[in-house]
Amino acid sequence: MPLEEKESNYPNREIIFLYKDFKIALVIPAHNEERLIRPTLESVPPIIDRVYVVDDASQDNTKEVVLDYAQDDERVHLISHEFNRGVGAAIITGYKQSSCDDFDVAVVVGGDNQMPLEMVDELIDPVVSGDVDYTKGNRFLMPQRGLDGMPWTRFIGNSLISITTKMASGYYKIYDVVDGYTAISKRAIDMIDWGKAWQGYGYPMDFLVRLNAYGLKVKDVPRRAIYLEGERQSQIKGFDYALKVTPMLIKGFFWRLLSKYLVRDFHPLFFFFLLGLSLMPAGVLLGGWLIYKQVVGIGVSGPESVLCALTIIMGIQFLLFAMLYDMQESE
Where do the structural domains in the chain lie, given as residue ranges?
A: 5-263, 269-330
- Helix locations, the chain, DSSP H: 37-42, 62-70, 87-100, 120-128, 143-146, 152-169, 186-191, 203-213, 239-258, 269-295, 302-330
Contact residues for 117 (Cβ-Cβ < 8 A; gap 6+): 40, 43, 44, 45, 109
pLDDT at 158: 72
pLDDT at 60: 93
Q: Per-residue confidence of the chain (331 residues) as pLDDT tens digits? A: 444 545 544 444 455 667 888 999 999 999 999 999 999 999 999 999 999 999 999 999 999 999 999 999 999 999 999 999 999 999 999 999 999 999 999 999 999 888 989 999 999 999 999 999 999 999 888 765 545 556 666 677 777 888 889 999 999 999 888 889 999 999 999 999 999 898 887 899 999 999 999 999 999 999 987 766 545 545 455 567 777 888 899 999 999 999 999 988 888 889 999 999 999 999 999 999 999 999 988 888 999 999 999 999 999 999 999 999 999 888 7
pLDDT at 239: 65
Identity of residue 116: P
pLDDT at 144: 58
pLDDT at 8: 46
28: three-class secondary structure by DSSP: strand
Task: Identify the bridge partners of residue 5 per DSSP, sorted by sequence position.
Answer: 80
CA 198/CA 302 separation, integer angstroms: 49
pLDDT at 257: 94
Give the DSSP letter of residue 47. T
CA 7/CA 21 separation, integer angstroms: 27
∠202-205-209 over CA atoms, to 5°?
135
What is the model's pTM?
0.86
pLDDT at 153: 66
pLDDT at 243: 77
pLDDT at 13: 44
Q: Are strands 105-108 and 24-30 parallel, antiparallel or unpaired?
A: parallel
∠30-200-173 over CA atoms, to 5°?
100
Q: What is the CATH number of domain 5-263?
A: 3.90.550.10
